[in-house]
Amino acid sequence: MEPIAPILALLAQGPSHGYDLRGRVERGLQPFWRIDFGQLYRVLHRALHEGLIAAAGRRRSDRGPARTLYRLTPRGRAAVDAWLAEPAQDDDELMVKLTLAAQGAGRPARVAAANRRRFAARLDEARDAYRCAVESGDRGRIIAGDALRRRCEAIEATLGLAQAEAVVRGTAMPRSGDTARPRRARRSMGGGDGPRALRIAGSDDPLLGWLAREAGCDAQFVGSYGGLWALQRCEVDAASLHLLDADTNEYNAPFLRQLLPESDWVLVNLAWRENGMIVARGNPRRVAAADDLLRDDLRFVNRQREAGTRVLLMRALRAAQIDPSSIAGWDNAVATHDAVARAIVLGHADVGPGLRAVAASWDLDFVPLVQERYDIALSRDVLESAHCRRLLGVLRGRSLRREAGRYAGYDLRDCGRIVGAARPELIRA
């Protein structure tokens, strides 16, 4: 990355002197980019010579001599616009461009649009490389491939957030998992504090992860119960869940009636999906049903207590008259489906609860237990808000159906429909 470009982009936010520019690089652009004073003043000298900046007087300082202020010329402004419009050459340059655009040098959504295709191709390549690593059985390649895949997925999430205009000028990018000041954030949905990302918490799901990235939402995977509790405490705008009530044989709605008795809530379906047990490729231990988990030769990894997938497995075990606590490793819990799959790939476990979609993405095998309904719960106010419009557009669009085709075990027959509500008349036929 040519150092002149980010310096010009900093000056696009207003006149500044060299000492201030260096401080802004240290505060806002590290660790993605650094510059020392010697290099900085060489860049400023070159920009002056090329007519990209001009001296704008001097500013007196209590801590030293007066410093020359520099301002961007129209030619320099054009150079900034051209640089932001070009695809980034690497991850660090992309982060620098997005950060500077968010600070006022341009529009983050335009930067994201210029880079989306290239980085989407990189994500596809990283996923393919990871699958090859799994097939090789080389643990070193598996760890490195998984790290690269996750890095590319993080970049894809950042691009989705920026393209959805979730990042606005003069504000920092929202961090995934940031639930600070939840009540003030909820009021900002109405426009009081400016736009922000819609917050979803709840059950882990790869299709929901893609939906959140594409729609510019902040998704936190804390389990179905964790999402419900966060929704009850007004810490998030929506909860993802897949909980079946044994008494009514109804998904999700009974739990909302109990935890949110005074809320005007709705349930919007994302998908029906296959849930069960993830096992090694070829199922070498010949796991066939939940009661196999009592076998001494199986190493088991579980999900956390708040996870609906753990509850589902408990239901299957009790139907087989098995006390879940009698299973060796029942308290050996991890937070996501991917973590279960990773433990099996690395040879740390033989079986664990999870989705067919996740098993297939890790090139593992799957023992089905149930097809379950996976919904997003939110209030009617949030559903009808401008912030939710983008989410619903992606949820009901063709791109989500194409993405779902990349995974195994999804049925989109109710996708985008209201399948439950505090007021039954809102449920769409």
Q: Is residue 408 part of a domain?
A: no
pLDDT above 90 as % of the chain:
41
Total number of domains constituting the chain:
3
Q: Is residue 13 part of a domain?
A: yes
Rounded to 5 degrees, what are φ and ψ at 14?
140, 160
Of the three residues 370, 394, 411, the one that is the final residue of a domain is: 370
Checking if the pLDDT of 287 tops 50, the result is: yes
Same domain, 86 and 11: yes
Q: What is the per-residue pLDDT across 201-228, written as a single tens digit (0 to 9) for each?
A: 999 999 999 999 888 888 888 899 999 9
Distance separating alpha carbons of residues 1 and 180, to the nearest angstrom = 35
**Angle, helix 4-11 to helix 18-28, in steps of 10 degrees:** 100
Checking if the pLDDT of 289 tops 70, the result is: yes
Sign of torsion over alpha carbons 102, 209, 211, 179: negative
Cβ(108)–Cβ(164) under 8 Å?
Answer: no
Of the three residues 318, 350, 370, the one that is the final residue of a domain is: 370
Cβ(414)–Cβ(272) under 8 Å?
Answer: yes
**pLDDT for the residue 188:** 35
- State the Cα angle at 87 between 83 and 93, rounded to 5°: 75
Q: Is residue 292 part of a domain?
A: yes
Element at 250 (helix H, strand E): strand 250-251
Output the domain CATH number for residue 88: 1.10.10.10
Same domain, 326 and 362: yes
Of the three residues 46, 73, 97, the one that is the final residue of a domain is: 97
Same domain, 147 and 60: no
Q: Is residue 376 part of a domain?
A: no
Residue 302 CB burial class (10 angstroms; 0-12, 13-18, ≥19): buried
Q: Is residue 230 part of a domain?
A: no
Same domain, 66 and 116: no
Checking if the pLDDT of 429 tops 50, the result is: no
Q: What is the per-residue pLDDT across 234-257, written as a single tens digit (0 to 9) for each?
A: 999 999 999 999 889 999 999 999
Same domain, 84 and 112: no
Element at 64 (helix H, strand E): strand 64-72
Which residues constitute the domain of residue 123?
Answer: 107-163
Q: Is residue 294 part of a domain?
A: yes
Cβ(100)–Cβ(170) under 8 Å?
Answer: no
**pLDDT for the residue 192:** 41
Checking if the pLDDT of 402 tops 80, the result is: yes
Instruction: Give the Å distances, CA to CA, from 162 to 23, 204, 220.
Output: 25, 23, 18
Q: What is the per-residue pLDDT across 370-398, written as a single tens digit (0 to 9) for each?
A: 999 999 999 999 999 988 998 999 999 99
* Closest-CA residue to 366 (of 300, 293, 287, 298): 287
Q: What is the per-residue pLDDT across 12-53, written as a single tens digit (0 to 9) for each?
A: 888 888 888 888 888 888 888 888 888 888 988 898 888 888
Q: Is residue 74 part of a domain?
A: yes
Quickly count helices (H) and strands (E) in the chain.
17, 14
